[in-house]
Amino acid sequence: MEQITLSNGFRICLERREYLKSCAVGLYIGSGARFETPQTLGVSHFIEHMLFKGTETLSTRRIAEINDDTGGSLNAYTAKEFTCLYARVLTCHVRQIFSVIADMTLHPALREAELETEKGVILEERSSYEDSPEDLCMDSFYESFWPNDLLGQNIVGTRESIAGMTSDVIRAHMKQYYVPERMVAVFSGAFERSEALALCEEYFGALQNTNNPLRYSVPETAVFVRGLRRDLQQNVLTLGLPGLPLEDPRIHALTYACAILGGAGSSRLFQRIREEMGLVYSIDAFHTAFLGTGCVCISMALSAEHERDALLKTLALCRGFADTVTEDELERAKMQTLSAVTMALESPASSASRIGRNVLLRGKVLPEDALLETLRSVTLDEVRDTAHEFLRPDSFSLCAVGKIKSDKQYRSILRSDSEV
């Protein structure tokens, strides 16, 4: 992978795969919920929607027609720390699709009538999250876990912030965050190197560096119990603890620990609590990392009557976990991870995503071989040490959605040393 930085700070990543006949193109922008304000919460996501509503020279329909004419897959998404526009097209259409992405990014029309229409669409999207107990539980957990930081907020925003969105708010945000030092363009697949560089220079080379690189503060985490009562047939619970930030080298050891604990069908939580005891429909352990912070979570879906037993057994399995992780379990987790990563790297779209996210957020990306070797080299002692530090059952926070117990009852279960 080759990385070039233009004089204004705009970064270009080129990963050539000449055996292909297509190219994945991505533009990564350091604009997400974490970099908003309580008043503009959701503006990054709103912008993502509005970019497809036409530019100064292209109508919404024409953007769709160009995408269809090229047989491509132009799309976008917003995360907590960045926004991404991406497409995959045949090599002969790279110029055409990148020109559209650039035009959408640099010259969105932001017409008031379409902005008002899109408010309705996004409010419906907000409702869809609220109607999904899994999404609602996870969003509510994050909100309570990082109570004083916008990292904990849903990227869609609140109903109030969505309703208050205007073209002036959007343009002000884009002026501050859609700047070259917060942008990374990625080309992965078959493409002409000179054409890719010329395209980036043509469209983004004249932008002015505003000295606004990615900056962040490390948010404080809270310990809490939070319940949201809903008339559901099945409750959803999320247990959580502070984890590791994106830049911490121990992150792979913690990821393996979560996989062994509850990340696959052979994991301890799945085998014991679902397969042997039949207490849950689903149970999963995972680690989520951001700049400067992260969290370890265990999520489960189950009937209200099984909550106590499932929680007590989960806590018991966590207590004895670190000292009992075996070499066989680690090797199994490694194979799962290495297989998933290797197969993802075979896809130019997945590879472009890995490159874009890492270069934007961390300023670098490990070469594929180095990444795989890093994953292979994690030792049993490293997994055990990391599990000791971060899987502390006496420190769990809890969010529950459904026909829930009282906060007092949940706290009593979390403090209990008993086992089913």
Which pLDDT does position 420 carry in this prediction?
Answer: 62
Q: What is the pTM of this model?
A: 0.94
Which pLDDT does position 100 carry in this prediction?
Answer: 96
Q: Is the pLDDT of residue 417 over 80?
A: no
Bridge partner list, 12? 4, 185
- The arithmetic mean of pLDDT across residues 96-117, rounded, is 95
Is 10:200 a contact under the CB 8 Å cutoff?
Answer: yes
pLDDT band at 418 (very low <50, low <70, confident <90, very high): low
- The arithmetic mean of pLDDT across residues 174-201, rounded, is 98
pLDDT band at 151 (very low <50, low <70, confident <90, very high): very high
Per-residue pLDDT of 374-413, as tens digits, reads 999 999 999 999 999 999 999 999 999 999 999 999 999 9
Domains assigned to the chain: 2-204 (3.30.830.10), 225-415 (3.30.830.10)
To the query of whether residue 48 is one of the catalytic residues in this protein, the response is yes
Q: What number of other Cβ atoms are within 10 A of residue 305's Cβ?
A: 10
Per-residue pLDDT of 189-230, as tens digits, reads 999 999 999 999 999 999 999 999 999 999 999 999 999 999
Q: What number of other Cβ atoms are within 10 A of residue 74's Cβ?
A: 21
Per-residue pLDDT of 110-121, as tens digits, reads 999 999 999 999
Q: In angstroms, rounded to a whole number, what is the distance separating the alpha carbons of residues 219 and 211?
A: 23
Which pLDDT does position 385 carry in this prediction?
Answer: 97
Cα 349 off chain centre by: 16
Per-residue pLDDT of 320-350, as tens digits, reads 899 999 999 999 999 999 999 999 999 999 9
Any idea of the CA torsion for 11, 12, 13, 16, to the nearest 10 degrees? Answer: -170
Per-residue pLDDT of 86-95, as tens digits, reads 999 999 999 9
pLDDT band at 101 (very low <50, low <70, confident <90, very high): very high
Annotated catalytic residue within 15, 36, 48, 329: 48
Q: How high does pLDDT run on average in the chain?
A: 95
